[in-house]
Amino acid sequence: MSIDQIFILIAISAYITSTLALLIYLLSRERWARTIGIPFAFLGCITQFVELFVRWQTSHIWPLTNLYGSLSLFSAMSVAIFIVFALRYDLWFLGGFVLALAAGFLAYGLTWNEGYLPAVPALQSYWIKIHVPLVVSSYAAFMVAAVTSVMYLIKYYFEGVLDARLGRTGGLAAAAAGTAGSGSGDLGLRMQAGNPAAERVTISTLRDSPNIAIAAAHGDMLAQWLATLPSLAKLDVMTYRIVAIGLPLLTVGIITGAWWAKEAWGAYWQWDPKETAALFSWIIYAAYMHLHTRGAWRGLRSAYISVVGFASIMFCYLGVNIWISGLHSYKM
């Protein structure tokens, strides 16, 4: 077993361990699960970057010239981007999904690993060290955004279940009566509890449907679990923030790709399937950002667009590489 294979084995094992621990954390909010999951997520991510570096140094071949290398980076970058957001916004509860996908993509990438193949002439350019990492990082950001959106959709669905069970107005009435803290009417505002400055300061914030708090107070396990998740508004904002990282990366990726194409093929845009699929994905995320400026399109619709956007990214990344022949058919 070569050194880079050992690293890959460590990375996949770390991801699987972290996935299980963070899934337990998502469901139970047990601190020990989080305490185990986070270091393993770091370990897997760092090991993957080390593996890519070792592979580069031992073979003297830039590791991102084939699908295996790029999937490996995709997997590592998705975990890295997730870790950054999780550290900043405490998103560890999403880790189980992100790390499971990262492990899955890494394992799938291994099926394309044919060993060390030197780059074909078209890929022998310094642009490969700029363009590919940028584009793959944007894909990774969109994956994390899609996971946040899926979590939004899950919470939205279960909130709907609770609302159907308790009735939308019942919750507010109960909230007004003090069952679940002081609600503030039509905007669903609530005074913040547990605020260190709560004695002197009142801050109104946007929070969950009151029904979650009511049902949770009555011992409903689903509601208790939903109450541990961030509000839908926060999940929506989180998706927006991650897409706001991915879209500029994709834009720079397309621009650098166009510049490279100008050097390699003579035209910065040739309507190659990969180019056009990337453009298609860019259009979806540009539409997402446009629509997010309108209040009516935030939330549920934005979450759907984010999921559709990631599907288009997967088509652009894997579908075009594997099924459609073109200038970007670099599988091996």
- Which residues are at the interface with another protein (CB under 8 A)? 113-118, 120-122, 124-125, 127, 187, 189, 192, 195-197, 199-206, 233-234, 236-237, 240-241, 244, 247-248, 251-252, 255, 258-259, 262-268, 271, 273, 276-277, 279-280, 283-284, 286-287, 289-295, 298, 320, 324, 332
Tokens of 272: 């190659």
Residues 6+ apart with CB under 8 A from 315: 277
How far apart are CB 294 and another protein at their closest, in Å?
6
Please report where in the chains the tokens 């927006």 appear, as a residue. Answer: 240
| Distance, CA of 138 to CA of 177 (rounded, Å) | 48
DSSP result, 118-161: PPPGGG-STTHHHHHHHHHHHHHHHHHHHHHHHHHHHHHHHHHH
CB within 8 Å of 200: residues ≥ 6 apart: none
User: Is the alpha carbon torsion for 121, 122, 127, 132 positive or negative?
Assistant: negative
Residues contacting 235, CB < 8 A, separation 6+? 148, 149, 151, 152, 155, 229, 303
Nearer to another protein, 54 or 61 (CB): 61
Query: Quick one: 4 or 220, whose CB is closer to another protein?
Result: 4
Q: What angle do CA 20, 66, 115 make, to 5 degrees?
A: 85
**Nearest residue to 26 (alpha-carbon basis) of 90, 81, 88, 106:** 90
CB 254 → another protein: shortest distance, Å? 9
Q: How far is the CB of 47 from another protein (least distance, A)?
A: 22
The sign of the torsion formed by the CA atoms of 272, 81, 144, 195 equals negative
Minimum CB–partner distance for residue 46 and another protein (Å): 27
CB of 25 to another protein, least distance (A): 22
Query: Which tokens hold the place of 85?
Result: 């957001």
What's the Rg (C-alpha) of the chain? Answer: 22
Task: Kindly tell me which of 18 and 231 has the beta carbon lying closer to another protein.
Answer: 231
> Which of 16, 289 has the CB closer to another protein?
289
As measured in angstroms, the least distance from the Cβ of 159 to another protein is 16
Nearer to another protein, 46 or 175 (CB): 175
Nearer to another protein, 16 or 291 (CB): 291
Q: Do residues 246 and 277 make contact, with C-beta atoms less than 8 angstroms apart?
A: no
Closest approach, Cβ 273 to another protein, in A, equals 5
> Between helices 67-89 and 95-110, what is the axis angle to 10°?
170
Nearer to another protein, 14 or 81 (CB): 81
Query: Closest Cα partner for 143 from 98, 208, 181?
Result: 98
> Bridge-partner residues for 71, per DSSP?
none
By beta-carbon proximity to another protein, the closer residue of 107 and 286 is 286
In the complex, least distance from residue 288 CB atom to another protein, rounded to whole angstroms: 9
